[in-house]
Amino acid sequence: MMRTRPLKVALLGCGVVGSEVARIMTTHADDLTQRIGAPVELAGVAVRRPSKVREGIDPALVTTDATALLKRGDIDIVIEVIGGIEPARTLITTAFEHGISVVSANKALLAQDGAALHAAAEQHGLDLYYEAAVAGAIPLVRPMRESLAGDKINRVMGIVNGTTNFILDKMDSTGAGYQEALDEATALGYAEADPTADVEGYDAAAKAAILAGIAFHTRVRLDDVYREGMTEVSAADFASAKRMGCTIKLLAILERAADGQSVTARVHPAMIPLSHPLASVREAYNAVFVEAEAAGRLMFYGPGAGGSPTASAVLGDLVAVCRNKLAEATGPGESAYTQLPVSPMGDVVTRYHISLDVADKPGVLAQVATTFAEHGVSIDTVRQQGRPDGVGNEASLVVVTHRAPDAALSGTVEALRKLDTVRGVASIMRVEGE
């Protein structure tokens, strides 16, 4: 039976994502009605600048008073695409207090306050859906939360930020400069309102926290995630990576410890072999590997940012929440029953690529090798060559290690810096994906 009374939607935010959500809601209205079993109506649009011209949006729907919109009594579902912590947090909480389910794309808020928001949704018997918060258009949250609910996820590794992948890809493939590539990503609508969140790894760390919580059924907050951004990655790093048959990607890596008693969550740039599937992820695309005990390795791939791809994920959630509402049911809530501690980065086992500028004289190689041995770090390969810039009496030494705890690797680098024969550490990068 088709319900004729429409489900009323309040759209909070009408920028890159919100404007595309509104456009698809309008152009696909008939299909959405059929899929949901009731019409959905855009009943109000909250923004910051009411006088801005918004194509396809009836100006009568636009307001700057989002709170009044939520309190007016006829709203069934809220779509929050404002971003940031406040006022988004208060508005979502207000929506729950007024019996309104929420769809949000706000990873920063979910990574910081997800537990409280899930608790509020549960307390009021409402939905909180957030597929768009991680990896743009890619269905990832729901497959991990629902399709893999009967399996045991042990590892998640992937590219979860479109802006930084776009920048790194441009630097690698066209030799573009960092700022030029960032400006292009911003113009294409990929970057956050403050792109520092992208390039310093905060956005990827927020997504990592959300995914770790879902994967390991535990609470992982943004602060638990080890984070390094990509602003230090240089053309020289790409040249080094190329010589090793690698490229550089900003990765999010989440792992359950072998004894199952703890987890790790980290975001940092890493060299990966060109033969690895993540190496061929171009532009603002994202890709995530999920390793589950019974399923084996799954790969999720697709557009990771941008208005239209992200709106696709928001609309998928909207349909699900509308269906739940008509069925007087809710979807699955948070599953965080394990309370596993998040181990520090020092405990993570990884490999380093280290490029040193050293004195070109007898005994230097032995001294460097001894320093690695003293820290229990085994060397995989060493390559020495004269400095390309022709600096006299200096050589460049590139060491790639075997796997070792990160604390031992960073301890080795600190000790190397103190050697008289080491003139400088030109670059350090972790090596993943082998």
Q: Of ligand NDP, ligand HSE, none, which one does residue 243 interact with (CB within 5 to 8 Å by kind)? A: none
Q: Of ligand HSE, ligand NDP, none, which one does residue 15 interact with (CB within 5 to 8 Å by kind)? A: ligand NDP
193 touches ligand NDP by CB under 6 A: yes
Residue for token digits 């609470």?
219
Residue for token digits 């405990």?
347
Q: Of ligand NDP, ligand HSE, none, which one does residue 82 interact with (CB within 5 to 8 Å by kind)? A: ligand NDP
Nearest Cα neighbor of 46 from 82, 22, 20, 100 is: 82
| Residue sitting closest to ligand HSE (CB) | 163
Q: Please list every residue from 124 through 153 that binds ligand NDP, using CB under 6 A.
A: 132, 136
Total residues interacting with ligand NDP, rule: CB under 6 A = 28
Among 76, 198, 237, 334, binds ligand HSE (CB under 6 A): 198
Question: CB 258: neighbour CB atoms within 10 A?
Answer: 9
CA 248, chain centre distance (Å):
16
Residues 92 and 117 sit within 8 Å (Cβ to Cβ): yes
Q: Please list every residue from 126 through 145 that binds ligand HSE, using CB under 6 A.
A: 136
Supply 117's token pair. 């928001």
CA distance linking residue 147 with residue 201, whole number of Å: 28
Q: Which helix (H) or strand (E) holds 40?
A: strand 40-46
User: Which pairing describes strands 263-273 and 153-159: parallel, antiparallel, or unpaired?
Assistant: unpaired
163 touches ligand HSE by CB under 6 A: yes
Identify which range of 48-56, 111-119, 146-154, 251-259 contacts ligand NDP by CB under 6 A.
48-56
Residues 6+ apart with CB under 8 A from 76: 7, 8, 9, 100, 101, 322, 325
When the beta carbons of 16 and 120 are compared against ligand NDP, the nearer one is: 16
Question: What sign for the dihedral angle of Cα 405, 410, 412, 413?
Answer: positive
Residues 198 and 191 sit within 8 Å (Cβ to Cβ): yes
Binding mask 281-310 for ligand NDP (x = CB under 6 A): ------------------------xx---x
Q: Cβ of residue 48: shortest distance to ligand NDP, in angstroms?
A: 4
Give the burial class of 262: count Cβ atoms within 10 A of its Cβ; 0-12 exposed, 13-18 middle, 19 or more buried.
Answer: middle
- DSSP secondary structure of 78-110: EEE-S-SSTTHHHHHHHHHHTT-EEEE--HHHH
Residues 79 and 70 sit within 8 Å (Cβ to Cβ): no
Q: Cβ of residue 190: shortest distance to ligand HSE, in angstroms?
A: 4
- DSSP secondary structure of 235-249: HHHHHHHHHTTEEEE
117 touches ligand NDP by CB under 6 A: no
Among 191, 253, 265, 364, binds ligand HSE (CB under 6 A): 191
- Among the options 107, 152, 170, 207, which is catalytic? 207
When the beta carbons of 144 and 404 are compared against ligand HSE, the nearer one is: 144
Q: Is 84 left (phi over 0), alpha (psi -120 to 50) or beta?
A: left
Supply 73's token pair. 């009594």
When the beta carbons of 198 and 432 are compared against ligand HSE, the nearer one is: 198
15 touches ligand NDP by CB under 6 A: yes
Q: Is 341 left (phi over 0), alpha (psi -120 to 50) or beta?
A: beta
203 touches ligand HSE by CB under 6 A: yes
47 touches ligand NDP by CB under 6 A: yes
Q: Of ligand NDP, ligand HSE, none, which one does residue 193 interact with (CB within 5 to 8 Å by kind)? A: ligand NDP
Q: Of ligand NDP, ligand HSE, none, which one does residue 17 interact with (CB within 5 to 8 Å by kind)? A: ligand NDP
When the beta carbons of 283 and 357 are compared against ligand HSE, the nearer one is: 283
Quick one: DSSP state of residue 213? H
305 touches ligand HSE by CB under 6 A: yes
Question: Does the annotation mark 207 as catalytic?
Answer: yes
Interface residues with ligand HSE (CB under 6 A)? 136, 161-163, 190-192, 198, 203, 304-305
Catalytic residues: 207
Interface residues with ligand NDP (CB under 6 A)? 13-18, 46-49, 52, 66, 81-83, 87, 105-107, 132, 136, 189-190, 192-193, 305-306, 310
